[in-house]
């Protein structure tokens, strides 16, 4: 691994490098999508928290919000991420909110962690969960996070904080894998939430018992990159069309003991 010399060559004698891959900033994507949606005439009611999906005669007819607004609808599509199983409790046996540690470190040797000497990485991720990014061009930090089991949380009531054990595991990973970063200061942390289905597959389908209601959720830590495909899948479900992947993400029963199927995810020691 002479090219990416920050990595410990004893642990990573080789790797796979994809020069066309990279990363996008999620906030900038969302901004772009919002602008585009508004151009298309979509009205976005910022600051409204859907609280009740109203029903009449077995059909979802309106959404009322915590802020006191009410929106009548011909068809409702719920894509509420980790809050989806709270809006639709019948989904709670099949999905949950899990929290994953994110760290920003300020490298004492930034050159070593700057592209092209360092790139977006997944470090034997099926067995460690660790992945990260080169020095951020404006913030000057290296972001490292874990794509692993996480901790189950209530999305509103539980604090989204990183604990000592998370930090201990990070330091141990760095000491072994990226020694030049092992003692550098952590300048920011957060615990970020996945909407984890028990099998790790998306959940995109019409509600089997309520007409006029479609659900698109279950990102399980890997939906952002799939965004360009998921919109089509959700639209097809809402409009009653079959997509070639509809069966995979259908409304389904999942046994409680089921484990995640994603190969590139650390499933614990």
Ligand X SMILES: Cc1cc2nc3c(=O)[nH]c(=O)nc-3n(C[C@H](O)[C@H](O)[C@H](O)COP(=O)(O)OP(=O)(O)OC[C@H]3O[C@@H](n4cnc5c(N)ncnc54)[C@H](O)[C@@H]3O)c2cc1C
**What are the residues binding ligand X (CB under 6 A)?**
49-50, 79-81, 83, 87, 100, 102, 145, 192-195, 217, 219, 221-225
Ranges of beta strands (E only) in 3-78 are: 50-56, 59-65, 70-72, 76-78
CB 230, CB 218: distance < 8 Å: no
CB of 103 to ligand X, least distance (A): 10
Cβ proximity to ligand X, 107 vs 221, nearer residue: 221
Nearer to ligand X, 92 or 108 (CB): 92
Shortest distance (Å) from residue 26 CB to ligand X:
6
Strand pairing report for 95-105 and 142-146: antiparallel
Are 76 and 60 within 8 A, CB to CB?
Answer: yes
CA distances from 96 to 113, 124, 246 (A): 35, 26, 21
State in angstroms the smallest separation of the CB of 151 from ligand X.
12
Which CB, 83 or 251, lies closer to ligand X? 83
**Closer residue to ligand X (CB): 50 or 181:** 50
CA atoms within 13 A on the CB side of 92: 9
Query: Closest distance between ligand X and the C-beta of residue 49, in Å?
Result: 4
Q: Is the peptide bond before 254 cis (omega within 30 degrees of 0)?
A: no
Pick 193 or 213: Cβ nearer ligand X: 193
Measured from the CB atom, the residue of 29 and 247 that comes closer to ligand X is 29
CB of 105 to ligand X, least distance (A): 15
**CA geometry: angle at 100 spanning 171 and 222, to 5°?**
120
Both tokens assigned to 244: 């070639």
Cα–Cα nearest to 246, from 228, 258, 234: 234
Residue 147: CB minimum distance to ligand X, A: 7
């Amino acid at each position: 691994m002479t090219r990416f010399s920050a990595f410990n060559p004893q642990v990573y004698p080789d790797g796979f490098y994809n020069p066309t891959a990279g990363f996008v900033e999620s906030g900038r994507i969302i901004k772009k999508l919002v602008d585009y949606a508004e151009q298309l005439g979509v009205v976005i009611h910022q600051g409204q928290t859907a609280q009740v999906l109203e029903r009449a005669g077995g059909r979802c007819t309106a959404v009322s919000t915590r802020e006191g607004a009410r929106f009548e609808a011909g068809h409702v599509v719920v894509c509420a991420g980790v809050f989806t199983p709270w809006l639709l409790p019948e989904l709670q046996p099949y999905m949950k909110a899990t929290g994953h540690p994110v760290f920003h470190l300020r490298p004492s040797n930034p050159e070593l962690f700057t592209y092209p000497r360092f790139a977006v990485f997944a470090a034997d991720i099926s067995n460690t969960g660790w992945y990260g990014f080169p020095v951020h061009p404006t913030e000057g930090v290296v972001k490292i996070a874990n794509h692993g089991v996480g901790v189950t949380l209530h999305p509103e009531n539980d604090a989204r904080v990183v604990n000592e054990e998370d930090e201990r595991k990070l330091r141990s990973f760095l000491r072994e894998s990226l020694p030049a970063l092992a003692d550098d200061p952590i300048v920011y942390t957060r615990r970020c939430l996945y909407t984890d289905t028990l099998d790790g597959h998306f959940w995109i389908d019409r509600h089997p018992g309520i007409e006029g209601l479609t659900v698109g959720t279950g990102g399980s830590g890997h939906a952002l990159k799939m965004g360009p495909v998921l919109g089509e899948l959700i639209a097809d479900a809402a409009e009653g069309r079959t997509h070639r992947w509809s069966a995979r993400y259908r409304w389904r029963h999942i046994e409680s003991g089921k484990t995640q199927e994603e190969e590139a995810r650390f499933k614990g020691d």
